[in-house]
Amino acid sequence: MVVVKAKPGESMDRLIARFRKKILHSGVLLEYKERERHKTDAQRRKEHKYRIKHLREIEKKYGQDR
C-alpha cells in the first residue's frame, strides 16, 4: 500500500505528482496491468525468455560494470 501525506504548504498538484511517482516505483501499477489480462503459460514463458535475452544483450553492450 502506498501512503503519501501532505507536507506543510504543499500544493495538491505536487502531492498528486509524488503519489504517482511512488505508485510507479512500487510496481503496483505494473502488477495491476499484468493481472488485468489472463495469459497462458506459453505466453508467460515466451515473455520470460525474451526478458532474459534482452538483459543478456544489454550486459554484452554495456558490460557488467553498470
pLDDT at 10: 93
pLDDT confidence band for 33 (50 / 70 / 90)? confident
Domain chopping of the chain, boundaries: 12-62
pLDDT band at 37 (very low <50, low <70, confident <90, very high): confident
d(CA 64, CA 25): 23
Write out pLDDT tens, residues 44-54: 999 999 999 99
Query: CB–CB of 6/15 below 8 Å?
Result: yes
Global confidence as pTM:
0.50
pLDDT at 64: 66
On average, the pLDDT of the chain sits at: 89
Residue 6 CB contacts under 8 Å (≥ 6 apart), including other chains? 15
